[in-house]
Structures are given as structure tokens and as C-alpha cells.
Chain A
Amino acid sequence: MSNTAQLVVIGAGPGGYAAAFRAADLGLNVVLIDEEANPGGVCTYRGCIPSKALLHVAKLLSEARHATAWGIEFPEPRLDVDKLRAWKDQVVAKQTSGLGQLAKLRKVRSIRGRASVVDAHTLTVATYEGGEETLPFETAIIATGSRPTTLPNTSLGPERLLDSTSALEIARVPKNLLVVGGGYIGLELGSVYAALGCEVSVVEMTAGLLPGVDRDLVQVLQERVERVCKSVMLDTKVVQMEEVVGGVKVTFDGRANPSEQVFDQVLVAIGRKPNSEIPGLERTRVEVDRRGFIGVNPQRRTAEPSIYAIGDVAGEPMLAHKASHEAKIAVEAIAGRKVAFEPRAIPAVVFTDPEIAWCGLTETEAAEQGTPVEVAKFRWGASGRATTLDRNDGLTKLVIEPKTERVLGVGIVGVGAGELIAEGVLAVEMAALTRDVALSIHPHPTLSETVMESAEVALGESTHVYRPKRATATSKA
């Protein structure tokens, strides 16, 4: 039996490995448990990283097609799915083996296996090799992440029914695909399949794509999604799915026409749920709420003082960068530092084409909370850089506290929005005023100028927006 570990991290995703690495850097002896050979988690193996590799390819394909408008014509691309998959796997392998190296260099002890809780200071690990190891610990961090939510009562086999994990494998490119769920995962994967030449339909239960995201941002995306996809069915539910010859017969309830359609494959992307069903967890004081999230305090400590939880399993938003930030907070709290999880702006990015990104307070949230805000918008029609890209389908907006002119939130839709939002995060975290943003020189010609220009819009000083009077400057652009 081994000595007591100062810290055991269960799960080696972007939260878990960040925690283990930080703890090792602080001089703790750390054990990292995961089912995979290397750290990385869903994000690196089956999420962010492989999907972005495929989205990169999708972008290339779509730009190649677009090039016709600029006088360049490519022949119809020939797709070698096996080669594409191999490249994607290679991207994943590069990332994960790099992380494995980092773990070794930091002398983090990695155990490949599944953990069960014995009590507040003991775990057992069923190892990949088949043994079982008892692991006494001083502190543990649960970073077990989340998994795709599945539809109940479907008897469809994996050949027809995909989730985000199997969709990334691209066993084949189906003739047509139904994406169930108009959230970010469905839209990202849907756009990959569409770019690969598949006829994609999207069905969403609520009235709009990307529920919760500001409508004006979604509107820009939706226009393009509707062009790229065969159909987008809003306010529509899937009532029944049934395997028929040559595909899946899906029965809809809502605005689908016809209400019964046959698809080659169905991708279910209706959300993710936390992996909090750790055997034996009930033997501790750790609390799990109705939705499966583990309750934590600002230091990410659970009701069991020796156990912390971070990442998807510890609550929304389920984002890798939130997990890795929480990891640092938790580890530093364990090391006795006075820290708390208190970000003002957790950026969210939807890697569709165009991308949508936002941080801080959104206009939608402000309306729900009844917080009075000013909103300043700059449409990319007036952006020189957007014009050179032939992508004027974009919008940058600031959500501003009227009294102080402080930037409370930033929302962007357009190509590269995911990169642009970082400036918004800094502005919100630093409590920047619109004046600060407007007075900071932005490089020309770049899309980042749209952030500065939206601040100028707020102040009624935008170079590229004509406003007869300041009074109207901050309403609608």
C-alpha cells in the first residue's frame, strides 16, 4: 500500500490535469487518476480539440467554395475520410502525449483506472491493468467532468445514432444527418458534416438556436446556418425515432414539414450532464444537487472538507477554461492561500461559422435581472477588415452600465469572434470604461477595431458610423 497522497485528483481533463500540475508545482505529492493513458479528458480526446481540428477543415472547404466569388475556382474536393480521421487522431495524440510528458516531468503519479470512494480520506482505484489499489489521501479534487445527455427510450444502434463522441470519429459521411439540439455542440458538429458534403437538418425544441444567447448575435449566425443546412426546424420536438430500411424514420411534433422524415444518421446533442455518480461518494458529506452537480463553496470545497470539486461536475458553465481556472483556485486554497473563484467574465465561444463569443453580462441576462444597461453595437458592414475577408456578417456589441459607463459585457458574432472576445474579458475584468476601450489604439485593419468602434458608438464618436445626434448613439446601430 502506498503512502498517503497529499492530493488525489480524480479525472484528468483540463480541470484535473491543471489541478495536478499546479499542486505539483506547489510541492504537493499528487496522484492523478484517469481512464485514459494520458491527461486530456473529454476536451482533448473527444471534445474541444478534435472538433476544432475538424472545424478547421470545414472552414477550408467552405472558403474554397466561396473562392469562386473571387475568381478562383477549385474542382469539387475529394474527401478521404480515413486520412482526415487519422489527422484528427494525430492532433489529439500530440496534445495528450504532450500533457503526459508534462505530468511525468512534474512527477505527478498517474494511475489509469476508475476511482471509488471508501471514505473522506480513502479511495480505491480499479486499475486498467486489472488490479485494485487503495489510496489514502489528505485532500481530493473531483474533476470527473460530464458526458452527453442521451435520449430516453431509443433502440437505435450506434450505426444510426451518434452522440458528440461518435460523431467526431466520422466513421463515414452520411448522406443526410439530423442534428437533434440547436445548441453549440449540435451546431458545431452539424457545420462540420455540412462542410463534408452531408445534407444536415437541425431540430430545436425552443424558438431559437443557441438558447440563452443574445438574439441579435444568433440572428447573424442563423442566417448562415439556414443557408448551409437543408432545414432548421425550431419549436419542434422529436416524438419518435424508428429504424427503417436505409435509415431512421423520425416523427416530429411542431413546425417540421413533413412531420415524418427519414435520415441516414441522427446526431443527438441535447446537452451534457455531470459525472457525479462516483461509487461510494454517498459515504462522504459531499452534496449532489438534483441536476447532478456537486455543491461547492467559493474555494471549490464540497461539504466534505477534504474533498473539492471543479469543472463540469461542479456546475455551469461547463467549459474547459472555467475548469482549469477553478483548478488553480482549489489547489491554492488547499495550499492555504486566500483565494476564491470570483471571475467577472467567463468567456463562451461557439465555434460555428461565423463564431459567436460573449463574456460578462449579456443583454439577455440584463433584461432578465432587470439591470438597466446601455448597449452599443457596431455592425461589421463598416469594418474594412471584414470587407477584405468578404465576411461582413458580424456584429460587436458592448453591454454598458449607464451611470459609470463601465463595460459589463461584450458579445461578438463574426469570423474570429472566439479570438476577439479575449479583449472583452480583459476589459470586463479590469472594470474598463467605454472611454478606456475607445481611447486604446487598435491595429488597423483588423477585426479587433470593431471592439474599439463599438465603444466609440457608445460615446457617439464612432468614425465609421454616422450618427446625427449623440442622444441616439447608444440605441441601435
Chain B
Amino acid sequence: MAIEFALPELGENITAGEVLRVLVKPGDVIGRDQPLLELETDKATIEVPSTVAGRVQEINVNEGDKVQVGQRVLTVEEAGKQESGIGKQESGTDDAGEAAPSRATAADAQEAAQPSGEGPAQPAGPPAAAPEGGVAEFKIPELGENVAAGDVLHVLVKPGDFVERDQPVIELETDKATVEVPSSLSGRVRDVHVKAGDTVKVGQVIFAVELSKPATAAPPAEAPPPPPDADRAPAPVVAPSPSPGETERPRAEVFDISRAVRPAASRADRPAASRAEAIPPRPNVPAAPSVRRLARELGLDVGDVPGSGPAGRISQADVLAYAKQVITSSPTPAAPPGAAGAPTLPDFAKWGEIDRKTITGVRRKTAEHLAQAWSLIPSVTQCEKADVTALEALRKRFAPQVEQAGGKLTVTAILAKILAAAVKAFPQFGASLDLAREELIYKKYVHVGIAVDTDRGLLVPVVRHIDTKNITQIAVEIANAAQRARDRKLTADEMEGGTITITNLGGLGGTHFSPIVNWPEVAILGVSRARMEPVWVEDGFQPRLMLPLSLSYDHRVIDGADAMRFLHWVVEALEQPFLLTLQG
């Protein structure tokens, strides 16, 4: 019997990846958990292990292909197909061979002793579950964003039952919906640890199963779902997911649906029931009542859903696909930042005298822009201090020279030059993210925005081509730009096109702060006041002038480790100005 192996779920929010290498070829005999593909995803490069065993018949993907979760990767001729499923499961331990039986039994006993499932979870890596004939535990899989627990309405299996993968085993009421949770395992149920009325958490063990060997009757058993804390191992997360070849078992859909629905449901929930109420009834849309109801539950207007059926009839699948699309295409609510969607303000006058003032153009623009950046960018701020004792001596020494040229040799000017060099070394810090096209845009120029405090509010003039200018030129340009900003002479295009931004509050003090990334840029460097501090150098404290730096960055584009490397590069450049000439 041929079985298809489809790309399993790879982790939260990962729907696809690019094939770097195919590790097997037709004719190979593969075992379960054997790596099949090397896949580059948004998160990491991972090896995708097999959930099936047998001889590879056909490989459906090539290196360089982009594959979606659920897409068929290869087909195998299943080994031992003549064997009866029931027989296998009865004498399972014999076939499992190796160390599996004893290990699994021990693990089972241990888990049974602590049915809460908080105990040691199965390692996520390849040897995770006794592949066949052993005992595995079925745990509550992830139920959706922000759904951590649910109440058991019905337990649909009892000890001794034979369950198949995707067979509903428990009916759970979460605060989002009532869901049937399908099994990710096949085999005979041993111990059931929960009963109706219990509150169960994601990851909690529901029952133990004597795994059946993959046989003609039963679909292949699979590793139990990994522990919810997926960061414990870099290995790919092999979540239970039906492969597309399973259409003959409609139950397989159930799991898919609940998964697909989740993010939508949680999103729709947040604006509260009023959102669902706000959607007008759509009796004339060609969708069945159940489909209309589903759309409403997801917070969608069924009238917006494109129907794929005859004469545009909308199916449940259409609604789910649309929900998915809505989620991926607009990560933020479409409401204008800070305006609609904001809760109603209380009447402040109740508590004392107030005064209302219209916000000015700059303030309004700032509010809109920052609110947009804030809601759009998952940002992280990293802090560090640079020893600028030596730099400060140099700055003082050369300041008169720059002043003669018409500029002011400030830390900002020096940092602008350093940042430009740093962006050259770490190009992703000057990139922009095009989610719609799934592309990163790298710029071959470095224009640095300089945040300027004016009496009208915050303005960010952009100094262009910093990488081709020396610090004196930069200092002059910054001085000019700042003056123009204060004189209200800046034009809109002088404030556009930045690659990265510096915001220096050092003149006012402070230690660290968390600047907001100036979208569509991906990083911003905040500078606070340099202070003389005792620093342990070699064998004693020395007074050193320390400059606090706060780097905020778009975590979608930049990883924490890279940010630290970038920040260290900047710190080193400040501490060893010679490096700039050497590397910059």
C-alpha cells in the first residue's frame, strides 16, 4: 500500500518552507523519524523527519521548491503491508524491537503516576516515541492562540477501545468554542486520565495508547505531539497533522479545521461580541446557514467571502481559507491607529477642571505614525553601554575644527557615521519588510534619520548617503537639518527615506529607554546621557565615561543574537574609533 508523506506542521505560524536538500531518493528504504528534507523556513533551517516507513516510490518536491504544510512530499510503499493491524497491536512489543518496550513502559508508569502531564515530556527529537508497538501518550494538542485549557464535555474513548488517528477522542469546551479533539495516535487505549467535567490544559496527558504498527487497516502511528514549549529543542516540531492523502477519512478534516480556525477565532474574540453583532445579517449570500454561522463566529462578514462553489456558493472551507487570508494579510486591525477601536474615554470633568486642546499637525502625524509602527512591529529593545572615555577626548580635541566648518562634533554625528558602517556590515538593519510579497528589501544606500526635538514636536530629518561622507560633513549636515527643523523649514521629503534612525536624548539625561522603530525601517538606536562610572578594569575600578545605548529592532526581520552582534559592533567602534577606518 502506498502512503503519502505530507509536510507536517512545522510550528506556530510556519506554513511553508523552501527545500534546501532532499535527503532521500526513490528506492531508498526509510524509517520513521529519518530526516527526509532540509527545509528553510522563516524561523530556521530544519530537517524534516519522516512519519512513515517503507520504500520511497516517488519524490514530489525538488530542491528550491517552496512547499506548504500539508503538501505531498513523497510516497512510500509501506513495509509489512500484509500484516494485520489487529494482530500487530496485540503482539506489538515483539515487533517494536530495540529498547522501545522497556523504555516506553517505564515512561508510561511514570506518566500514569502523574496524570497532570506536567512531568517530563517526551523529547521532541527523533527517538521521541517508541515508533511502533510501544506505548505513547496522547496529550491535548495546541487548541489555538490564547487557548490554554478547556473543560471536558465528553470522553469518547475508554480503556480497551481501539482508536485511529484523527478519530475524535474527547469533546472539549474552550472559551472559544466546543471542539472535538482528534487522536494523533492509533492503537489500543490503556489508561484514560480525565473524565467529563475536568479542566484540562494543553499538553496534559489524556490517555495512554499501545501503539499499533502501521498496517493496512490503520494509518501510521506517529510521534506524540511535542511538549508545548517548542524552544527546548531546535528539532522541528512534528505536530499531528493529517496528510492530504487521507481524503477517504473525512474525520481527518476535523483537526485541520479546528487548527485553521484558531487564530481567526481568537482575533475575532478580542473586539468582543459587539463585533459579531455589528456584522449585519446576510440572508442573501449563497451560503448555508451553518456556513453563515461559522463566518459570524469567526468575526467575518460572510458577504466578503469569495465562494468557490457553483454560482459562487460559499463553503465552510471558503470561510476558513478567507479567515486565514485575512489573518496573514493584515496583521493589524485596519482601524486608524489611536482612533476607532479605542475605548470610550471617561468624563474627566467629573473629577476636576479640564481643558481640551486640538492636537497640532505634527503631534497628530506623530501619533498616527508611532501608533502604526507600534502595532505593526513586534519590536525588542536591547541595551548596552559603550566606554567613550577615549572618544570623548578625541571629540573635544577636534570639536573646534568641525566648528570652523560650520558643524558641531556631537556624539550623534559620530554615531551616524558608525551606524552607517554598521549597516554596511549588517545589511538587514537597513532593510524593510515587504510582507505582501514575502520579500526583504535591502537598500544599497544609508540615509540616517536624526530625531530632533522642536517646539512643534518630534521631527526626524534624514541625512543622506552618510556612508560616503566624513564625520565633519555629517556634523555640518546634521546641524543644518536640526536648524531647519526648528525653523519649520523642513519639507516632508526631507523626512523620508531613512535607512535607520538615531534618537539622542542624552542632552536631557536618562539611562536607557525603548525607542519605537521608525517604520518602514527596522531598527532605531536610542542614546542616553554619558556618565562617568566606576568600571572594573583589570584589577581595579577606574572612572570611565559610559554611554548608554538602546537598540530597538523589528524582531520579524532581526534576530536577538544579530542585534547583540550589531550593538557590540557599534560599541566597539565607539570604544576603538580606529576600527571605523579599519572596517567601516
Contacts and interface: CB of A to CB of B under 8 A. Distances in A.
A340 B288 contact: no
A240 interface: no
B288 A433 contact: no
A362 to B, nearest CB: 14
Contacts of B299: 338
A371 to B, nearest CB: 10
Given A298-B281, A340-B281, A431 B286 contact: yes
Contacts of B288: 429-431
Q: How large is the interface on B (under 10, 10 to 19, 20 to 34, 35 or more residues)?
A: 20 to 34
Interface in A425-456: 429-431, 433, 435-436
B38 to A, nearest CB: 43
A297 interface: yes
A435 B280 CA distance: 30
Interface size class of A (residues with CB under 8 A): 20 to 34
A366 to B, nearest CB: 12
A333, A342, A430 interface centre (most CB from chain B within 10 Å): A342
A337 B279 CA distance: 14
B283 A343 contact: yes
Contacts of B283: 342-344
A338 B296 contact: yes
Interface stretch (B56-64, B309-317, B368-376, B515-523): B309-317
Contact of A342 (B281, B286, B310, B312): B281
B557 to A, nearest CB: 36
A409 to B, nearest CB: 11
Given A338-B268, A405-B311, A406-B311, 18 more contacts: A333-B277, A336-B273, A337-B297, A338-B297, A339-B293, A340-B276, A341-B281, A342-B283, A343-B289, A344-B283, A344-B284, A403-B311, A404-B312, A406-B286, A429-B288, A430-B289, A433-B310, A433-B313
Interface of B: 268, 273, 276-277, 279-284, 286-289, 292-293, 296-297, 299, 310-314
A333 B240 CA distance: 34
A248 B166 CA distance: 74
Contacts of A339: 276, 293, 296
A308 to B, nearest CB: 12
Contacts of B280: 298
B277 A429 contact: no
Nearest to A337: B297
Contacts of A299: 277
Nearest to A436: B310
A341 to B, nearest CB: 6
B287 A431 contact: yes
Centre residue among B280, B283, B293 by max chain A CB count within 10 A: B283
Contact of A429 (B279, B281, B289, B312): B289
Contacts of B276: 338-340
Contact of A404 (B273, B286, B289, B297): B286
B297 A342 contact: no
Nearest to B276: A338
Interface of A: 297-299, 333, 336-344, 403-406, 429-431, 433, 435-436
Contact of B296 (A297, A340, A404, A429): A340
A299 B280 CA distance: 10
Nearest to A340: B281
B16 to A, nearest CB: 31
A339 B293 CA distance: 7
Contacts, number: 55
Nearest to A406: B311
A338 B276 CA distance: 6
Contacts of A404: 286, 311-312
B277 A340 contact: yes
Contacts of A433: 310-311, 313
7 pairs of A and B residues whose beta carbons are closest in the complex: A342-B281, A404-B311, A338-B276, A431-B286, A344-B283, A430-B288, A338-B297
18 contacts: A299-B277, A338-B297, A339-B276, A340-B276, A340-B279, A340-B281, A340-B296, A342-B281, A342-B283, A343-B283, A344-B283, A344-B284, A405-B311, A429-B288, A431-B287, A431-B311, A431-B313, A436-B310
Nearest to A403: B311
Contacts of B293: 339
Nearest to A429: B289
Nearest to A342: B281
B303 to A, nearest CB: 11
A184 to B, nearest CB: 23
A430 B288 CA distance: 4
Determine which residue in A333, A343, A344 has the highest number of CB atoms from chain B within 10 A of its CB, and name it: A344
Nearest to B265: A338
Contacts of A340: 276-277, 279, 281, 296
A344 B268 CA distance: 25
Nearest to A297: B277
B324 to A, nearest CB: 19
Nearest to B297: A338
Contact of A298 (B268, B277, B287, B312): B277
Contacts of A429: 288-289
Contacts of B314: 431
A415 B288 CA distance: 29
A297 B194 CA distance: 42
Nearest to B284: A344
Contacts of A333: 273, 277
Highest count of chain B CB atoms <10 Å: which of A333, A431, A433 = A431
A341 B286 CA distance: 16
Nearest to A430: B288
A336 B274 CA distance: 10
A445 to B, nearest CB: 30
A374 to B, nearest CB: 14
B5 to A, nearest CB: 37
A41 B314 CA distance: 39
A333 B311 CA distance: 32
A391 B193 CA distance: 64
Most buried by A among B287, B311, B314: B311
Contacts of A430: 288-289
Contacts of B284: 344
A21 to B, nearest CB: 19
Contacts of B311: 403-406, 431, 433
Contacts of B292: 342
Contacts of A436: 310
A38 B156 CA distance: 37
Nearest to A401: B311
A436 B311 CA distance: 12
A337 B268 CA distance: 12
Contacts of A431: 286-288, 311, 313-314
B277 A342 contact: no
A341 B281 CA distance: 7
B273 A342 contact: no
Contacts of B310: 433, 435-436
A339 B294 CA distance: 9
A342 B286 CA distance: 13
Contacts of A341: 281
A344 B303 CA distance: 14
Contacts of A405: 311
Contacts of B297: 337-338
A408 to B, nearest CB: 8
A304 to B, nearest CB: 15
A348 to B, nearest CB: 16
A325 B274 CA distance: 21
A339 B177 CA distance: 13
A341 B273 CA distance: 15
